[in-house]
Structures are given as structure tokens and as C-alpha cells.
Structure 1
């Protein structure tokens, strides 16, 4: 009898209760899981409230990532962890299992980390000169070929000569990002 290879540890998407990302992260780490909660700095225009300055916030509100081996016992405890609402899964009933995401997705986000925060490029500000003529118009659907994955994006505007602001959907959330475009040489 030949056994199928074990998948081993894979990354899964956890949906948290509102504003409970840090609680869920802490609780999952206490269970021995590796957890990734991508954080971004507060918006530049964020003001202090009641004397408290705004701090880092989750990059994708209500979502974090956990690394689990589904062949190991005890992984279903994730569903009943404080702060966890659900895990993105596929299947129904007893066949329902968490759906793994590519490891390269986590690696790409971690590559953007500086000092524990994800650093995103700034889009062009109002008043800055528009870049040279562009062959796309706002709303055009494009296929962006990243270093390890391809993404469907919606073109918004050119930021400078070789970078464009685009919207891409990540885990059901639209995100405005600035990407480098390939040279046309």
C-alpha cells in the first residue's frame, strides 16, 4: 500500500471577530501555532484621540494567518479559540477542511516588513504632475505578473514613469497598491 505524501505545515486564513486580531494571534500562539498578523503604520493624517496617538493597525482588518499541519491532532481547536470567528475552508459537514494559501503569499508580505510593519509605497498625491502618456485608462483590467505569483488588478492611474496605482482583491477586500510596471524595451 502506497501512502499519499503528507502536506505538512501550511498557511491558512483565520477570520477574527471585529477588533480582536491581536487577541486571536496571542491565543493561537499560546496553542503553539506560528501566526502572522501583518501590521501597517497608522495613516499619516491620523490624529490623537483623548491624548492617545494612533498606533499600528492590521493591514487586512479581521484577517490573520496561521501555520498548521492538518495531519496533527488538535488543529480543530483553532475554531474555538478566543477572538477567532472562522477559518476560510472548503467542503461541507465532516468534509469541511481549512483551505491552504500559497506560502509565497506570506513570504511576499514578510519581505515588505520593516521594523514589524508592512511598508507600502505611497501613491501620487494631488498636485503632483501627471506622468507621461499611458496606454491604459482607469478601470482597465490587467494581469500583473509578480515575482512568484500572478494577480488580476484594476488600473487606477500612473504614479510616475514606471509605477501605477492599481486595485487588487485580497481575501475579499479591495486594496489600493502601487506596483512597478515592466519596461517596454
Structure 2
């Protein structure tokens, strides 16, 4: 090991807690681009720092100022997917048991069963409310239990039952 390497190690170990990082980096630089005058100037800076004592409060302020400059910029996450709202929440549609035309959109025309969330793409709250309103409407006699009313078969579709969001129930 050469003399310069020993000097750098001893200087680094003795001054690690008393000098700022940029002064140590300049003094201990092994880069060949650093001239002799720059390294001697850095050593003079270290010697002047050795003579003066560090105030811990001043050091704390310097560290806080430096960390404030290095804080990340506030911005939205570019990888975050947009929240998909269900069709009822998006258009602020309220379900009512006396509206069988709307409720029948969520019922299979062949079996009379309510389509699941993975097909209707409703949120959990609206899906539960839909099932309750359909049950109330069936009990009140507004809707048929086993099949969809024939006059509602040609209504426009709110979703495609043959192309579900998720192809399975779980």
C-alpha cells in the first residue's frame, strides 16, 4: 500500500465525524483528474475544520437544510390504474323496487337469476342493494320470479353477459 492510501485512511478515520462529506470527498479523492493544487486546497480546508470545533446544533441545521433540498417532488403515481366506477355510481342512479325495467337489466332472461358482480361490474354495495331491491320487487309482484318480462327483452344492454370482467366467480 502506498503512502497516499495510508494518509487517506488515517485522515478519513480521524475526521469522519468532524467534517462535512464534500470536504472529505475532495481530500480523499483518488481520481486522477484531481490536480495537486486542488488536493492541497482540500487538505487546507480539512486543517481549518480541525481547528474549529463543530457545534452539533449547527450540524443538525446543515443536515436538515440539505435533506430539505433532496426531498422527492410531489406528483401522482404514474403507474396507478384509474379507479373504475360501477355504472350506477358513475351516473348516480338510485335503485327502486318499483322500477322493474331497470332491475330486469341485471337478470338473466333464460333462468331469471341475478347476474353476479363479475358480469355486471357493479360495486359490492350496489350489487347487494340490487339483490335486495329485486327480492322486494318480486315479492311485491312487480317482477316475475323465473323469467324476464318479454317487453323488456329488447332493452339496450348495460353490460355484455357473454363477456364478463372476470371469467369465473372468485
Which band: TM-score by shorter chain? under 0.3
More helix by share: 2
Q: TM-score, normalised by structure 1?
A: 0.17
Taking structure 2 as the reference length, the TM-score comes to 0.18
